Amino acid sequence: MPSPKIAPSILSADFAYLAQEIEKVAPESDLLHVDVMDGHFVPNLTIGPPVVKSLREHTDLFLDCHLMVSNPGVLLADFAEAGANRCIVHIEIGDPQPLFAQLRSLGVEVGLTLNPDTPIETVLPYLNEIDLLLVMSVNPGFGGQAFIPEVLEKVRTARDKADEMGLDLDIEIDGGITATTAPLATAAGANVLVAGSAIFRAPDPAKAAREIRAAAWA
Ligand code: DX5
Ligand code: ZN
């Protein structure tokens, strides 16, 4: 299994103080998760390449950009230019291979994700073409939702398949991750934990991140 990583999601941070919010969690973070929403693929609107560019100027952390957008192809070059390290695209929008090719040519890591209701079989054919598989554990669009435990079976299936193929695949989980749900996710085979509200809505975000890490890899 690849190394364990904590990825705070800035969606639950105070956008007016992003740089300070990130400084609070940076010592406990292996990467930063950036939720991009277009008001079309999901019923919410957040941030895009200009904010990624500003983040890049303030942090050396790996920027993991989760694209909850209907047409990511038109944005990938801008994300690359802005300093994104990885772009994660949704399988629900259709054939991801042209997007993978575009990301590779831009020198950006490739992530693929699926919604809670989407069967794991839709992404298994692509495991050897991606750097990371993200299993959504809430319906994308908003922070602060409850973890959907039924997705753990999909994490197990993906980890088994990756092992069978000899792939050291990063499997990330996103949505409702807390010190209580994190150990369920890692036991199922996830090694990258995204957490938004559990970290940024805590009185001490760094401590909250430490507690999730300790619970997940006890
Ligand atoms: C939801 C986003 C998540 C979100 C998770 O659409 O993809 O990354 O920030 O927030 P929490 O951890 O609060 O469920
Ligand atoms: Zn996300």
Beta bridge partners of 98: none
pLDDT at position 1: 82
Please give the residue range of the domain that contains residue 15. Answer: 5-216
Q: Which ligand 1 atom is nearest residue 10's CA? A: 9
Q: What is the CA(140)–ligand 1 centre distance, in A? A: 7
Number of domains in the chain: 1
**Distance of CA 40 to CAs 9, 69, 76, 92, 198, Å?**
21, 7, 17, 13, 26
> Which residue has the CA at smallest separation from atom 10 of ligand 1?
143
Q: Which residue, 50, 68, 55, is CA-closest to 17? A: 55
**Which segments of 144-195 does DSSP mark as H helices, in order?**
152-164, 182-188
Helix (H, G, I), strand (E, B) or coil at 8: strand
Distance CA(73)–CA(41), nearest Å, equals 14
CATH of the domain at 71: 3.20.20.70
CA atoms within 13 A on the CB side of 191: 14
* Locus of tokens 């792939």: 167
Pocket test for ligand 1, best of 35, 69, 137, 147 (most atoms within 8 A of CB): 35
pLDDT at position 48: 98
Spell out the per-residue pLDDT of the chain, length 218, in tens: 888 999 999 999 999 999 999 999 999 999 999 999 999 999 999 999 999 999 999 999 999 999 999 999 999 999 999 999 999 999 999 999 999 999 999 999 999 999 999 999 999 999 999 999 999 999 999 999 999 999 999 999 999 999 999 999 999 999 999 999 999 999 999 999 999 999 999 999 999 999 999 999 98
Tell me which residues have their CB closer than 6 angstroms to ligand 1: 9, 11-12, 33, 35, 66, 138, 140-145, 174-177, 194-198
